[in-house]
Structure 1
Amino acid sequence: MPPSIVLAETFDTLGMDLSAEEIGAIQQSMEYGRQISQWAEKQNGAPFRRDAHAKATGCVRATFSINGDIPSHFQNSVFSQPGKQYQAWIRFSNGDMLVQPDAKPDARGMAIKLLNVEGGQIAPELTGAKTQDFIMTNTPAFFNRNIFDYVADMKYLAEQKRLAWFVSLWPPRLHPRRLYIAAQTVGSKINTPLEPQYYSMLPYQLGTTAIKFSARPCPGMRFKDYANKSDHDFLTEAMAEHLSAESACFDFMLQEKKPGTHMPLDDATVVWSEKESPFMPVARIHIPPQTFTSEPQQSFCENLSMNPWHAVGEWQPLGSLSKARRLVYHAVSQFRHQQNGVASTEPENWCLDESPDCNQYIDIHQVTNTPHLSRCFDSLNTPVDGSAALGCVQ
Structure 2
Amino acid sequence: MTDGQTRTYVRFREGIEERCRCEKKDIDRIVRVLRGNNERSYRRYKRGLRDAHAKGHGILRGTLEVKADLPPELAQGMFAAPKTYDIIARLSSTAGAIRSDQLRGVRGLGIKVLGVEGERALPDDTATTQDFIMVTHREFLFADAHAYARAGMLTAWALARLSDPVYRVGTEILSRLNGALEHCGKSLPETLLVFVAPNTHILGDLFYTSAPLRYGDYIAKMAYVPSSPEVAALTETSMDANTDVNACALMVSDFFSCHSAEYELQVQLCTNLERMPIEDASVAWPESESPHRAVATIHFPEQDPYTPQRRAFGDDVLSFNSWRGLDAHRPLGSINRLKQKVYEASSDFRHRVNNAPRLEPSDVSQLPP
Deviation at 1:19, TM superposition (A): 5.7
| Matched position secondary structure for 2:86 | strand
Deviation at 1:134, TM superposition (A): 0.9
Deviations 1:5-55 (A, max 9, x none): xxxxxxxxxxx9966521111111211121111122334x13211111110
Structure-1 residue corresponding to 2:66: 66
**Correspondence for 2:107:** 108
1:241-390 to 2 correspondence within 5 Å?
Answer: 241-259=254-272, 262-302=275-315, 303-352=317-366, 363=369
Measure, in 2, the Cα distance between the counterparts of 1:219 and 1:158. 35
CA contact (8 A) 2:266 2:292 kept: yes
2:36 equivalent to 1:35: yes
Alignment of 1:65-144 (within 5 A): 65-82=65-82, 84-127=83-126, 129-144=127-142
Counterpart-to-counterpart distance in 2, 1:40 and 1:181: 27
- Alignment correspondent of 2:189: 180
Q: Deviations over 1:229-266 (max 9, x none)?
A: 52111111111111001101110000011137611111
Residues 158 and 261 (structure 1 numbering): CA distance in 2 closer, same or farther, change over 3 Å?
closer
Q: Is the 8 A contact 1:106 1:186 kept in 2?
A: yes
Residue equivalent to 1:54? 54
What's the TM-score once normalised by structure 2's chain length? Answer: 0.81
Residue 103 of structure 2 contacts residue 199 of structure 2 at CA under 8 Å; is this kept in 1?
Answer: no
Counterpart Cα distance in 1 of 2:156 and 2:206: 30
| Structure 1 residues 63 and 178, CA gap change in structure 2 (3 angstroms) | farther
Amino acid of the residue matched to residue 111 of structure 1? G
Amino acid at match of 2:149: V
2:225 equivalent to 1:216: yes
| Aligned residue pair count | 325
Residues 1:145 and 1:228: Cα distance change in structure 2 (over 3 Å) = closer
Offset of residue 207 of structure 1: 1.7
Partner of 2:176: none
Note if contact 1:41-1:48 (Cα within 8 Å) is conserved in structure 2.
Answer: yes
Determine the structure 2 residue equivalent to 1:192: 201
SS at match of 2:158: coil
* 8 Å CA contact retained: 2:199, 2:238: no
1:121 Cα shift? 1.4
Unaligned runs of 5+ in 2: 1-16, 163-169, 171-185
1:166-185 per-position Cα deviation (integer Å, ceiling 9, x unaligned): 9xxxxxxxxxx996211232
- The question of whether the paired residues in 1 share the 8 Å contact of 2:134 and 2:209 is answered with yes
Q: Give 1:329's aligned amino acid.
A: Y
* Alpha-carbon offset, residue 330 of structure 1: 1.0
1:40 counterpart SS class: helix
Higher relative helix content: 2
C-alpha displacement at 1:89, in angstroms?
A: 0.7
Deviation at 1:160, TM superposition (A): 3.4
Aligned to 2:210: 201
Q: Report the alpha carbon displacement of residue 317 of structure 1 after superposing the two structures with TM.
A: 1.1
The share of aligned pairs that are identical, in percent, is: 28
Runs of 4+ more than 6 Å apart? 224-228
Asked if structure 2 preserves the Cα contact closer than 8 Å seen for 1:112 and 1:134, the reply is yes
| Structure 1 residue 126: Cα displacement | 3.8
**Retained in 2: the 8 A contact 1:216–1:252?**
yes
Alignment of 1:232-247 (within 5 A): 232-247=245-260
Deviation at 1:225, TM superposition (A): 7.4
Measure the CA separation in 2 of the matches of 1:196 and 1:339: 33
User: 1:162-213: per-residue Cα shift (whole Å, max 9, x none)?
Assistant: 89xx9xxxxxxxxxx9962112323344443210111110011112211100
CA–CA distance in structure 2, aligned partners of residues 234 and 112 of structure 1: 22
- SS of the equivalent of 1:160 reads helix
- CA separation of 1:56/1:159 partners in 2, compared to 1, >3 Å: closer, same or farther? closer
Native 8 Å contact 1:194 1:248 kept in 2? no
Query: SS where residue 144 of structure 1 aligns?
Result: coil
Cα distance change of structure 1 residues 154 and 37 upon mapping to structure 2, 3 Å threshold: farther
Cα root mean square deviation, aligned: 2.6
1:113 and 1:257 map into 2 onto residues whose CA distance is: 24
Considering Cα pairs closer than 8 Å and 6+ residues apart, tell me whether 1 or 2 has the greater RCO.
2
Give the TM-score taking structure 1 as reference length: 0.76
| AA partner of residue 76 (structure 1) | Q
The runs of 5 or more residues in structure 1 that have no matched partner are 1-15, 167-176, 354-359, 364-394
Instruction: Tell me the SS of whatever aligns to 2:134.
Output: strand
Deviation for aligned residue 1:95 = 1.4
Q: Find the aligned partners of 1:226 and 1:136 in 2 and give their Cα distance.
A: 21
2: distance between equivalents of 1:243 and 1:156? 38
Letter in 1 for 2:250: E
Distance change >3 Å, CA 152–CA 227, structure 1 → 2: closer
Question: Which whole-Å deviations, capped at 9, do the CAs of 1:141-179 have from their partners, x for residues lacking one?
Answer: 11110010122235425753889xx9xxxxxxxxxx996
- Is the 2:228–2:261 Cα contact (8 Å) retained in structure 1? no
